[in-house]
A and B are shown apart, each in its own frame.
Chain A
Amino acid sequence: MVVRLALTLLTLFVSACSPSAAGQPAPQAASQALVLGISRDLVEGPKDPYFAHANLQIWDSLTVLDDELVARPSLAERWEMAADGLAWTFFLRQGVRFQDGTPFDSGAAVANVERFLKISPRPSPFFALDTKLAYGDLDRVEQVGSTAIRFVLKTPGPALPNTLSGFFSAMFAPASFDANGDFGSAGPIGSGPFRLVDWKKGEGATLAANPDYWGGAPKVGQIRLRVLPDPVARVAALRAGEVDGLTELGAVLPEQAAPLSRDFAVGSRPVGLAHYLFFNGTKAPFDDVRVRQAVSLALDRQAIVRDLLEGYGLPAGGLMVEPAKRWAIPPQSKADPTAAARLAKEALPTGVTPVVLLLSTTFTARYPYRSLAELIQARLAPLGLKVEIRVVDGAAWAPALSGGDYHISIGTQGLANGDPDFVFSRYVHSKGQVNVSRKIGYSNPKVDELIAAGSRTLDTATRQATYREIEAIVARDAPIVPLFSDVAIWASKRTVHDMTMDASYRPSLRTAWIG
């Protein structure tokens, strides 16, 4: 009877299992298909303002950031700012067609800008759409003939090519979206080197090459992306030969790089992501600048990068990440535990001061923050600060910060649009959104003045000087302690060539090939 039961169940089970389309990867024969493992889903779907992440290269933008986070031409060939900074004209690349054959011209470009203006603000797991951040104080956007568009501003926007780079100037064929600005059944029709053929939420996507791409046809005919959220399983898939490479954000962890490099090609590069410590400056003990400075002096950034990140990181100089060469400053001072102890002794009451270091699981899942927290705990103990490490999930972290229910926390900040005003105005302006919502409590009228000046100045050299001055003041006042900027690591089979990533984690899908 038991045997009969087992056989019946087995039959039922076998008949219930039907292999679906997203089966095992095909053997890598002479077919021009590249299979890549990624850590997160890069296609969000029709409700997302962009449908899919920029890194899939289905769509192009007017401008993109280069490796120094400076805007460079993409769908816009060049641009001109009016002398008063109140208008920017973008001259569009000629002869570009969307993947449905329709031309990319000023009409299409304006339609896309107007679409964003209509649907903004709209959340997205990739990059929250906010047209105020993108275009600044925009009066209107207009066509200039069929080959250019003009943004007319109410207040000067010296960094517009930067602030609208990437996501914020994504261009789709107007047939992709309806009158409400939502994507239709045709999906995202861009002008990029790849077309989205098929996707399964949370599992992966298939991209087909666009041979008519204006920047040169891709070398592979097809790319299959597999979402593999677990870092160990990701590397296992590479070792088992199921994927040709691992790429994009968080592809390979620092401790996995050395063992992998014995059998695979492993690459790395600095990216525009900063990790920093911040304080609740609205209550003791971190309302005292000396205690904050003591913490900054007690932490050896070089040692953190060397020991926690196996060298895959860059000690931070200031708030601006290292790839942003135009703005970044080198590390200002070395760790000095003696000076730290002296300052702490001066400022803190005798005995032990308990403080809470709050971590968010959104970060601990991706970065070695738990180890970092333990290191911080050890370094602050000689200062008389007894650190209690508390880990909460992401949704509980934000309310805990805004309720001031912490003393220290750690976070990341990207420089997605390459412009310093984005960071400074949010973090160290007395009314900055992050400053206020996280109870960082920093207020320095001189810094506020400099930030305002920087956002209006049209000359790069003057802006550089302004932001360097801000960095110097912030380094002294230490409301935020920049720790290190990230280095992204990727890996691939040795038969895969020209597979790299840029400073925005964008994999070189167009130029990669197998041979």
Chain B
Amino acid sequence: MIRYLVFRLATAAAALFGVSLFAFALALIAPGDPAEVILRRGGGEPSPTAIAELRTDLGLDRPAIVRYVDWLTHVVRGDLGRSYRDGSPVLGELLLRLPNTAILASSALLFAMLVGLPLGILAAAAGAGSDFIGRVVALAGVAVPSYWLATILILVFAVQLRWLPTGGAGSMGQLVLPAIALGLRPAGQMCRLIRAGMVETLGADFIVAARARGVGHRAIVLRHALPHALPPTVALLGVTFGRLLGGSAIVETIVAWPGLGRFAVEAVYDRDYPVLQGLVLVGGLVYTVIGIAVDFVHRRLDPRVRFG
């Protein structure tokens, strides 16, 4: 198992290297010059000389390969460089926001599990009525855009009913609406996955055998059928968590949540390459760690799975 872990970490490092190179290359192709972006802020009309000077200051006039290798050598020392926008250290800025986004992503996932899991089980095992409800929720989850849902939830629960705050960060109440907005889609997906997995399992021979032995319905559903439906769900949770960590910019903007999503979008508009490369690296790292964790959970759930 240790060997497997080492192997996974080694391939993860290779993947991170590849991803960072890809992100760097994309940055080279994108139109727009970070030096020009910086100098144009606040209504500036920079001369070509001023732009060229700033490019030199930022090291942008060096050949691409030199810049990449320089960045890489700093990264292995734990230095992700400084933002072009305001010179603040990239790692510091990411670490400031990553917990906020992680909290939001975790809450959304928790909501998805609390809704998707029971609904999926009920849909599979509690009759046609529950099945119908489950399918409606699943459809709503995948059809409704999260930013629209966030706005509607705010208008109803914050403005009309005043049960919850409209946005901001720092208290539990402020987490609820964005967590629901982001969590409904994975909830719907989970519901469908669990339902499909369980329906398939519930028709298997060993279930029939268990019923014949007199095992109760609840035990059949929860202890015998559910573990078989869980592995793909765990994989979905992992992927969803990774996606939520990077992709909730619009919802974060709507609820004024100080997370990575908004930060990332601003960095793209600013062509703030050190920040973008740092984000790609951190994102890749998180995805990799989640992937390894999912594999281990999968192994725990299903003893037939072997490593390697």
Q: Is A434 part of the contact surface with B, judged by Cβ < 8 Å?
A: yes
- What are the residues of chain B within 8 A of A29 when measuring CB–CB? none
Q: What 10 A-B pairs come out closest when comparing CB atoms?
A: A395-B32, A128-B44, A128-B42, A433-B45, A23-B170, A396-B31, A20-B170, A230-B254, A124-B42, A127-B42
Q: B50, A236: Cβ atoms under 8 Å?
A: no
Q: Is B4 part of the contact surface with A, judged by Cβ < 8 Å?
A: no
Q: Is B292 part of the contact surface with A, judged by Cβ < 8 Å?
A: no
- Name which residue of chain A comes closest to B226, CB basis: A2
Q: Is A221 part of the contact surface with B, judged by Cβ < 8 Å?
A: no
Interface string of B170-192 (1 = CB under 8 A from A): 11111100000000000000000
How far is B271's CA from A394's CA once the two chains are assembled, in angstroms? Answer: 10
Can you pick out 13 interface pairs between chain A and chain B where the beta carbons lie within 8 Å of each other? Answer: A9-B113, A17-B103, A23-B168, A47-B87, A200-B258, A232-B155, A233-B154, A233-B254, A236-B158, A239-B159, A362-B269, A395-B31, A396-B30
How far is B269's CA from A285's CA once the two chains are assembled, in angstroms? Answer: 31
Q: B253, A230: Cβ atoms under 8 Å?
A: yes
How far is B226's CA from A398's CA once the two chains are assembled, in angstroms? Answer: 57
* Chain A count of residues within 8 A CB distance of the other chain: 60
Select A128's contact among B39, B110, B255, beta carbons within 8 Å. Answer: B39
Size band of the B side of the interface?
35 or more
| Smallest CB separation, A212 vs chain B (Å) | 31
- Name which residue of chain B comes closest to A10, CB basis: B110
Q: A20, B169: Cβ atoms under 8 Å?
A: yes
Q: A24, B31: Cβ atoms under 8 Å?
A: no
Q: Is B151 part of the contact surface with A, judged by Cβ < 8 Å?
A: yes
Q: Is A216 part of the contact surface with B, judged by Cβ < 8 Å?
A: no
Q: B86, A396: Cβ atoms under 8 Å?
A: no
Q: A45, B86: Cβ atoms under 8 Å?
A: yes
Q: B159, A236: Cβ atoms under 8 Å?
A: yes
Q: Is B106 part of the contact surface with A, judged by Cβ < 8 Å?
A: yes
Most buried by B among A126, A128, A434: A128
Q: A47-B87, A236-B159 are known contacts. Are A19 and B258 too (CB-CB below 8 A)?
A: no
Q: Is B165 part of the contact surface with A, judged by Cβ < 8 Å?
A: yes
Of residues 427 to 441 in A, which have CB atoms within 8 Å of B's CB atoms? Answer: 433-434, 437
Interface string of A177-207 (1 = CB under 8 A from B): 0000000000000000000000010110000
Q: Is B149 part of the contact surface with A, judged by Cβ < 8 Å?
A: no
Of residues 29 to 81 in A, which have CB atoms within 8 Å of B's CB atoms? Answer: 44-45, 47-48
- What are the residues of chain A within 8 A of B158 when measuring CB–CB? 236, 240
- Name which residue of chain A comes closest to B268, CB basis: A393
Q: Is A130 part of the contact surface with B, judged by Cβ < 8 Å?
A: yes
Select B166's contact among A44, A125, A242, A400, beta carbons within 8 Å. Answer: A242
Of residues 153 to 167 in B, which have CB atoms within 8 Å of A's CB atoms? Answer: 154-155, 158-159, 162, 165-167
How far is B155's CA from A48's CA once the two chains are assembled, in angstroms? Answer: 37
- What are the residues of chain A within 8 A of B269 when measuring CB–CB? 361-362, 393-395
Select A2's contact among B88, B166, B222, beta carbons within 8 Å. Answer: B222
